[in-house]
A and B are shown apart, each in its own frame.
Chain A
């Protein structure tokens, strides 16, 4: 434990610990899951850390709006931790934060493609106001554009412009958002990976684990999906994935692309994962199962970061991921309760809550 680490991260650690203690407890989750309906969920959330974000007239609190409001908490904690974390960790968190910016941009481009109004798109976005390169006004301009060219030209001042403008010719030829979205995803993740190597020592080690693991999960699932669902060629799978990762190496991606046994490859990367044979027997179900299993494994990894030396970038990053997963589960729950989906349908989709119950047991 270097003194500089303690000095630099003491405040961040104290803040994260305080924020961590406000995460939804297992009894709260139990109550939310057993809640009668959407209104009951709102009542319960009004007693949680999300309460201030839900102080709107009841008629405005549609399921979509509730999710949007809850996400504002994530925006607030990101902004707070970026502010408190010393450089170059702060820069890495900013880069991580832009993961939502890329998602917002993709949502806006989908809005252009489907001719959706700005009002329809607005509450699908992540609320972001600081440490961003694409503002709300930019996104509004994108959505209000007449066509994809105008949409992309309207964000010519952002770092995503070069990528999008180059991918535009493929969009025109193929009439699909796929090339635009893949180009954005790859470019963003390459720059995120590069940001990790701005760190040194314990920070680098933790950043590789906390940022590299979700990158691995994305990369692995992309490769499998491209093969199973899209039936892409070996060369295409390689070109549409990343050559680097924390545990998922280029060799693994190439093996998937070349048509090797999926279950064996995944078992080699993540020993101990159960039910992998379904990847070969029923790939569609197998991929969905694998995604949930990997996300739960990652949540466990985030929690384990809180044990041991806490004065490094791993702590804020782990908390931010945990908060994202809590919100992802809340999103599933809110939508399920609003649409009266039965418990047995939506419960298996929750990633965060089952781990809480396990730790309580």
Chain B
């Protein structure tokens, strides 16, 4: 990866940024806050332009929504900065074109809602043979028909306790009631104010709906039918605009989005007096591509490249064969490898299925996972396409489960069909547990070797030899294992006391590793703080290392335990099947099939989680820092959604 600094004349900053995005290789780094006179003002100008584009984007989205146009896919061709005035003019034209039919549609819908509301209000008094207009114009009696929130009825009644009145509820629904308020005409002002403050909305049928409620209802129904016809006509107009403008709308939307991203990117650049300073990262092999792209748009750009200096945060590209891509997700979920650090994906692609297979050894179950993995990878089922990334992992795990299935002699839980090539976990429990620990020791050593490899790559010789997971740490681990095994097996070719001496020597080196690391790397002082404190610290550190190695190793026992559990769970399926149908009828096979599906789904998930845990906590902790940054080439079209107001 090369660090690239571009010094760009002010007039070329837009085409150069477009070229950088089009090159698809430039990872933009934060500039070092270059401050020149007026730099903040320039940044603010770009920020303001970005705000304008945000507003324009919202406006065009509103038009698209009103015309039922979705965003569609981003266009494949390169998108250039659009002038905000041009975009605004376009949007205004589109808004004008859409406004008429959309407004008519909304107005018709509003009218329909109102008419339907009037209808529902009049229906309870349909039988009332009184002219509604006459009711409002009585000489001595006050009468008001209307709707009121149910919660306000009591309050209205209690507010009128000093006034003679009658409140009749004609119809009551969840929230609203249709009521008639009667009183004396001399109290009309009080009654009207009380009714209004209780949100009693008078029922005022629109013009043309005079007469009795029955007559008004008939006229309303007629008008509802006409309004529905108008809605259909407006919808047809909207559909026509939809058809003719869909491409233009989508293209404009994406161009505005690209322009917004472009100006937001420029706002982040460093600023000199007449130039911009752009800093970023490019894979060395792509440098030429970048230079060509920039040269196409400007011959005034100064491009300087340099290798990354120590401790610089350099983005990382993971470049694994397609077969291993599925396993990259497992690694990046933990963290990106730092620049110069070994990418553990190939190792994970080997160890993850292996550990899974040990715990889930069954030919049938493995075959099921294998076929499921192929199905996911093929993308044959549309709804499962999002899970295609898991396909490779399932295939790997399926193959390993089949291999261990042959070794354990198990197929769909049946232990009698195949002859085990190695052992039966359920019968040889101690053997499988010991084998699991041995496998764990091997995996931990693999982790330590990776650590040594990382230290060698970064030329940290002190770390390589003396760190807890370096050469000395590995030697201590082996000596300690030798000591343990030697004390358990008396006739070992090498005496336990030899391992004891080695353990003491390497343990001492581990305890005081900091001194040796400093010595090799030329760091001074060798000891920080007092000697007494350091010795105490070294003792506890050694203690911690021993406990850590022991717990890491014993953690792998779970591989054996899960292999046993897998067999036991399958056995339980057959026991239940025998209970359901001792004569091995249909019920027996139904239970066997469902039981196997349960084992694959439920236990398979648990084993997958346990495997991940062993990878992350036991294995990765030996060598992988995961503190890297993902290489993310600059793009003008991103998939990020709008920011919520919480983050604004």
Contact = CB atoms under 8 A, between A and B. Distances in A.
Interface in A220-278: 232-236, 238-240, 243, 250
Interface in A131-167: 136-137, 139-140, 144, 149-150, 162-163, 166-167
B62 interface: yes
A167 B199 CA distance: 7
A251 to B, nearest CB: 11
A207 interface: no
B201 interface: yes
A190 interface: yes
Given A122-B645, A127-B645, A59 B201 contact: no
Nearest to A60: B47
Contact of B159 (A75, A119, A239): A239
Contact of A127 (B196, B199, B646): B646
A72 interface: yes
Contact of A129 (B156, B199, B201, B644): B644
Interface string B190-214: 1001101111010000000000000
B44 to A, nearest CB: 7
B89 interface: no
A144 B158 CA distance: 40
Nearest to B202: A169
B197 A235 contact: yes
B285 interface: no
B581 interface: no
Interface string B544-586: 0000000000000000000000000000000000000000000
Interface stretch (B146-154, B462-470, B488-496, B517-525): B146-154
A157 to B, nearest CB: 15
Given A149-B110, A239-B155, A166 B193 contact: no
B648 A122 contact: yes
Interface string B13-53: 00000000000000000000000000010001000000100
Interface in A277-296: none
Interface in B117-163: 147, 149, 151-152, 154-156, 158-160, 162-163
Contacts of A170: 196, 199, 201
Interface string B172-188: 00011000000000000
Q: Is the interface of A mostly helix, strand, loop or mixed?
A: helix
Contacts of B163: 235
A98 B486 CA distance: 70
A125 B648 CA distance: 12
B33 to A, nearest CB: 11
Nearest to B149: A166
A235 B193 contact: yes
A144 B95 CA distance: 14
B151 A187 contact: yes
Contact of A150 (B106, B149, B151, B199): B106
A65 B231 CA distance: 44
A63 interface: no
B155 A179 contact: no
Nearest to B160: A235
Contacts of A72: 646
A163 B646 contact: no
Interface residues of B, number: 33
B20 to A, nearest CB: 25
B371 to A, nearest CB: 42
Residue of B176, B194, B198, B645 contacting most chain A CB atoms (<10 Å): B645
Given A136-B645, A166-B176, A183 B199 contact: yes
A75 B644 CA distance: 15
B197 A236 contact: yes
A127 B197 CA distance: 32
A187 B154 CA distance: 14
B645 A239 contact: no
Contacts of A169: 201
A163 B197 contact: no
B167 to A, nearest CB: 13
A190 to B, nearest CB: 6
A119 B198 CA distance: 35
A178 to B, nearest CB: 11
A233 B193 contact: yes
B176 A243 contact: no
A118 B300 CA distance: 41
B158 A243 contact: yes
Contacts of A183: 199
Contacts of A127: 645-646
B96 interface: no
Contacts of A238: 155, 158-159
Contacts of A75: 646
A233 B190 contact: yes
Given A129-B644, A136-B646, A239 B201 contact: no
B158 A179 contact: no
B68 interface: no
B537 interface: no
B291 interface: no
Nearest to A179: B199
Contacts of B176: 162, 166
B40 A59 contact: yes
A190 B152 CA distance: 11
Nearest to B147: A166
A129 B62 contact: no
A243 B163 CA distance: 19
B100 to A, nearest CB: 14
A235 B646 contact: no
Contacts of B155: 238-239, 243
B201 A166 contact: yes
A227 to B, nearest CB: 13
A243 B197 CA distance: 14
Contact of A166 (B197, B199, B645): B199
B378 interface: no
B199 A59 contact: no
A96 to B, nearest CB: 19
Task: For the complex of A and B, list the 10 residue pairs with the smallest distance between their C-beta atoms, beginning with the closest.
Answer: A235-B194, A239-B197, A238-B159, A136-B645, A236-B197, A235-B159, A129-B646, A239-B198, A162-B175, A169-B201
Interface of B: 40, 44, 51, 58, 62, 106, 110, 147, 149, 151-152, 154-156, 158-160, 162-163, 175-176, 190, 193-194, 196-199, 201, 644-646, 648
Given A136-B646, A166-B199, A233-B194, 10 more contacts: A118-B58, A122-B648, A139-B645, A187-B151, A232-B197, A235-B190, A239-B155, A239-B194, A240-B197, A243-B154
Interface of A: 59, 72, 75, 118-119, 122, 125, 127-129, 136-137, 139-140, 144, 149-150, 162-163, 166-167, 169-170, 179, 183, 187, 190, 232-236, 238-240, 243, 250
